[in-house]
Amino acid sequence: MSSNVKFSIKTKLFIAVCVTAAICVSLPLGFAYYLLKADLAADAQSIARQKLELTKRLYLKSDGKSIKARIAAVSNMLGEEVGFISSSGKMLATTLWADESWNLSRSEIRAAKVDGTGFHIQQSPDENLSSIYCAIKVSNHLDAPEGYLIIKESLSTLNERIGMISKVFFWAIPAVALLCYGVIRFVTLHLSSSVKSMVRTAEAVGQGNYKRRIRNFPDKEFIQLAKSINWMAERIDEHVTIITSQKNKIQAVLNGMWDGVMVMDCNCRIQSVNRKLINIFPGAEKGLDRSPLEIIPSPELQDACAEVVSPEGPEAKTVQLVLPTGHIYDVNIVRSPHTVEPGQGPGAIAVFHDISKIKRLETMRQDFVANVSHELRTPLTSIKGYAETLLNEPAPPENIQKSFLETIEKNANHMCKIVDDLLNLSRLESGKEQGHFIPLDPMIALSNAWQACCALAEKRNVKLVAAINKNQFKVQADPDQLMQLFRNLLENAIKYGPENKPVVVNHLVEGDRLKFTVQDEGIGIPAIDQPRIFERFYSVEKFRRNEFGSTGLGLAISRHIVSNHGGKIEVQSPPEGCPRGAAFIFTLPLAKKSA
Ligand SMILES: Nc1ncnc2c1ncn2[C@@H]1O[C@H](COP(=O)(O)OP(=O)(O)OP(=O)(O)O)[C@@H](O)[C@H]1O
Ligand SMILES: [Mg+2]
């Protein structure tokens, strides 16, 4: 419980008004009481003085009698209690008091001694009444001794009035308090109803309902406050809208990035991640307020992030992540003071850049250079060897020289083929040579291709069986590329197929495409090699390639030609329904009828 007792406005107002009212009531009442009491005492004194004078006159008139008789007579005549005390202080006669407590030291007698008359108001403790004692000096007269006549007057009127005033006092205070309470309750009820509507609006704004406003304006005193609350709510609404739109923009930028982004605070706790990072590490969105290690199992990354957020650590760091999926990411972690709350240390931003493709291309480039060097080196070594032998002294016999020169020519031709194929492939890959696509009869391209390899076919006694008639179909293709494609596949079928067995070319219409199959009955291609068969320089059995002076680029070129035509090429080995052999299947777009 709080030690500071808090009073409500109602209580405070009540206490303040009661105190003010008490002061306002008691001051005039007290003053009136004081004045009234003084007036009443003065009146009583004046009446008592007249009675004293009368008493003295009557006392002096009744001479010749004893003092006691005179006093009794005066008392009878006036109906008052009267006493006489000698100047020596002895009570000589009295109808009042039999006691001897009377003496000259009483205040009324001392006053009478000096001024002729004296008064003294005395409160009777038993009766709770006030009485006034009055004394008048009597000089020596005839036989009457010198002394003081004393009478006692009851101050009943004074007592009554004072009693009345006390009663008024007694009832006035609670009555005023009650009145104050009533007034204050009315005022505070009205106040609190005004304040409540403002409180409700302020609470609603606090809970995020920034559109809430005070519609019914309260009393004049609160209009300014209500306007201020409305203005404040409007400003908050505006700022929240601006912040939300900025946040959305930042989030949109982050989500639109190709790279994964992770924002961390000064304690290396993840504050936000973008959509790409969630794609890379599913479940990363649940890692907010956790350490990177909890969503990415890489202690190296965790250490690097911790180092960057530490003030003594480096401003930036790069680590490489290799995922089980084979993807490789360069993670650049940069310290960023803008990612943290004011007063906190710097945070960090980690950007995950996918370098798998670059790595793959780099590996491919290295392989390519190694392959080209290797492919060129073999014929070049042979050319060099034979050329050196020819230059040696003594020169070899003429028939040997001829055979050496033939070998040199063969190797030079092979090198030329490699270079030509590489240039061809490079043009196709770069997209510079898209081709000149026209509607053409595939049968023409097929027969031209067969012509080009008929020497080899004859040598191996291989026949072409094609189920396509001339002018049956037209495809939208580049004539040179289509002939090259057929040639590569027919050559392979002749080379790697068995002797004395035909090569079969089939076709099938599939929607707006024509599907070709070039099939042989050879040894086929093992399943493990099939996915790589279209790579440059890839061959299943190198020794067979050398037999035909192959370069290993034929299928790579074929794949590019087919994809240039918007088709696909695949290998089936063994072909469907056959025990052995290989079938290369590719599609080409049919030419439009009107064309
Ligand atoms: N019909 C086939 N039957 C069996 N293996 C084949 C067949 N066609 C291709 N191959 C295999 O695929 C490899 C790649 O063929 P590709 O046509 O690309 O190169 P190449 O024939 O060796 O040389 P190039 O065609 O450049 O003269 C060949 O070396 C061979 O091992
Ligand atoms: Mg080939």
* Distance (Å, whole) CA 528 – CA 540: 10
Whether 379 lines ligand 1, by a CB cut-off of 6 Å, is no
Distance from the alpha carbon of residue 361 to the mean position of ligand 2, in angstroms: 24
**DSSP state for residue 140 in the 8-state scheme:** -
* Distance (Å, whole) CA 382 – CA 371: 17
| 233 shares a domain with 300 | no
| 562 shares a domain with 505 | yes
* Both tokens assigned to 451: 């012509």
| 563 shares a domain with 463 | yes
Distance from the alpha carbon of residue 218 to the mean position of ligand 2, in angstroms: 94
Distance from the alpha carbon of residue 553 to the mean position of ligand 2, in angstroms: 7
| 500 shares a domain with 443 | yes
- Residue 47 within a domain: yes
239-298 pLDDT per residue, tens: 999 999 998 998 888 889 999 999 998 889 999 999 999 999 998 989 899 999 999 999
* Distance (Å, whole) CA 383 – CA 391: 12
Whether 375 lines ligand 1, by a CB cut-off of 6 Å, is no
Which of 376, 492, 580 to mutate for ligand 1's pocket (most ligand atoms within 8 Å of CB)? 492
Whether 554 lines ligand 1, by a CB cut-off of 6 Å, is yes
* Distance (Å, whole) CA 571 – CA 575: 8
- Whose Cα sits closest to atom 25 in ligand 1? 554
| 569 shares a domain with 547 | yes
* Distance (Å, whole) CA 52 – CA 59: 10
The dihedrals phi and psi of 257, each to the nearest 5 degrees, come to -75, 150
Whether 525 lines ligand 1, by a CB cut-off of 6 Å, is yes
CATH number at residue 400: 1.10.287.130
| 109 shares a domain with 22 | yes
Of all residues in the chain, what percent carry a pLDDT higher than 70?
92
Residue 519 and residue 581 in contact, taking contact as beta carbons nearer than 8 Å: yes
**DSSP state for residue 397 in the 8-state scheme:** P
Residue 158 and residue 124 in contact, taking contact as beta carbons nearer than 8 Å: no
DSSP output for 331-346: EEEEEEGGGS-TTS--
Distance from the alpha carbon of residue 386 to the mean position of ligand 1, in angstroms: 28
Distance from the alpha carbon of residue 539 to the mean position of ligand 2, in angstroms: 9
- Whose Cα sits closest to atom 8 in ligand 1? 492
Identity of residue 510:
E
Ligand nearest to the CA of 545: 1
330, 354, 378 — which closes off a domain?
354
| 559 shares a domain with 518 | yes
* Distance (Å, whole) CA 560 – CA 570: 12
- Residue 502 within a domain: yes
- Whose Cα sits closest to atom 9 in ligand 1? 492
Whether 442 lines ligand 1, by a CB cut-off of 6 Å, is no
Whether 553 lines ligand 1, by a CB cut-off of 6 Å, is yes
Ligand nearest to the CA of 424: 1
40-58 pLDDT per residue, tens: 778 878 888 888 888 888 8
The dihedrals phi and psi of 537, each to the nearest 5 degrees, come to 65, 10
| 440 shares a domain with 570 | yes
| 480 shares a domain with 387 | no
- Whose Cα sits closest to atom 28 in ligand 1? 539
Number of domains in the chain: 5
In whole angstroms, what separates CA 325 from the centre of its chain? 34
Tell me which residue of 442, 418, 436, 474 sits closest to 564, measured CA to CA. Answer: 436
Tell me which residue of 563, 566, 573, 569 sits closest to 585, measured CA to CA. Answer: 569
Q: What strands, in cross-sheet order, belong to the sheet with 583-589?
A: 464-466, 503-510, 513-519, 583-589, 569-572
Q: Using 50 as the pLDDT threshold, list the residues of the chain that sit under it.
A: 1-3, 595
- Residue 291 within a domain: yes
User: Burial letters for 18-43: b for 16+ Cβ neighbours within 10 Å, e otherwise?
Assistant: beebeeebeeeeeeebeeeeeebbee
Q: What share of the chain is helix, strand, coil (3-state, %, to 5)?
A: 55, 20, 30
- Whose Cα sits closest to atom 12 in ligand 1? 539
Q: Which atom of ligand 1 is nearest to the CA of 488?
A: 25
pLDDT of residue 186: 82
**ω into residue 394 within 30 of 0, thus cis?**
yes
Which of 371, 539, 573 to mutate for ligand 1's pocket (most ligand atoms within 8 Å of CB)? 539
CATH number at residue 344: 3.30.450.20
* Distance (Å, whole) CA 188 – CA 190: 5
391, 407, 426 — which closes off a domain?
426
Distance from the alpha carbon of residue 78 to the mean position of ligand 1, in angstroms: 164
Ligand nearest to the CA of 375: 1
Distance from the alpha carbon of residue 516 to the mean position of ligand 1, in angstroms: 18
* Both tokens assigned to 124: 């009777």
- Whose Cα sits closest to atom 17 in ligand 1? 554
CA atoms within 13 A on the CB side of 259: 15
pLDDT of residue 63: 67
Distance from the alpha carbon of residue 488 to the mean position of ligand 2, in angstroms: 5
Strand pairing report for 503-510 and 464-466: parallel
Strand pairing report for 129-138 and 147-154: antiparallel
Whether 109 lines ligand 1, by a CB cut-off of 6 Å, is no
| 233 shares a domain with 143 | no
Per DSSP, the three-state class of 38 is: helix
- Residue 487 within a domain: yes
- Residue 318 within a domain: yes
- Residue 191 within a domain: no
Tell me which residue of 501, 479, 480 sits closest to 591, measured CA to CA. Answer: 479
Work out the number of other CB atoms within 10 angstroms of the CB of residue 151. Answer: 24
| 446 shares a domain with 415 | no
Our CA dihedral for 289, 291, 295, 298, rounded to 10 degrees, sits at 170
Distance from the alpha carbon of residue 136 to the mean position of ligand 2, in angstroms: 163
Which of 413, 496, 535, 553 to mutate for ligand 1's pocket (most ligand atoms within 8 Å of CB)? 496
**DSSP state for residue 298 in the 8-state scheme:** -
78-130 pLDDT per residue, tens: 887 888 888 888 888 887 765 556 778 888 888 888 888 898 888 766 556 67
Whether 551 lines ligand 1, by a CB cut-off of 6 Å, is yes
Ligand nearest to the CA of 558: 1
Note the residue count of the chain.
Answer: 595
User: Burial letters for 411-425: b for 16+ Cβ neighbours within 10 Å, e otherwise?
Assistant: beebbeebeebbebb
Ligand nearest to the CA of 491: 2
| 391 shares a domain with 505 | no
Distance from the alpha carbon of residue 556 to the mean position of ligand 2, in angstroms: 9
- For residue 551, CA distances in Å to 129, 368, 451, 511, 522 come to 146, 13, 21, 36, 20
- Residue 573 within a domain: yes
Tell me which residue of 297, 247, 293 sits closest to 272, measured CA to CA. Answer: 247
Whether 522 lines ligand 1, by a CB cut-off of 6 Å, is yes
354, 374, 393 — which closes off a domain?
354
- For residue 389, CA distances in Å to 124, 393, 399, 450, 579 come to 165, 8, 14, 39, 49
Whether 503 lines ligand 1, by a CB cut-off of 6 Å, is no
pLDDT of residue 411: 92
Ligand nearest to the CA of 504: 1
Q: Euclidean distance between the first and final Cα of the chain, in Å? A: 95
Assign residue 592 a region: left if phi > 0, alpha if psi is -120 to 50, beta otherwise?
Answer: beta
- Residue 172 within a domain: no
- Whose Cα sits closest to atom 7 in ligand 1? 492
Domain range spanning residue 102? 9-164
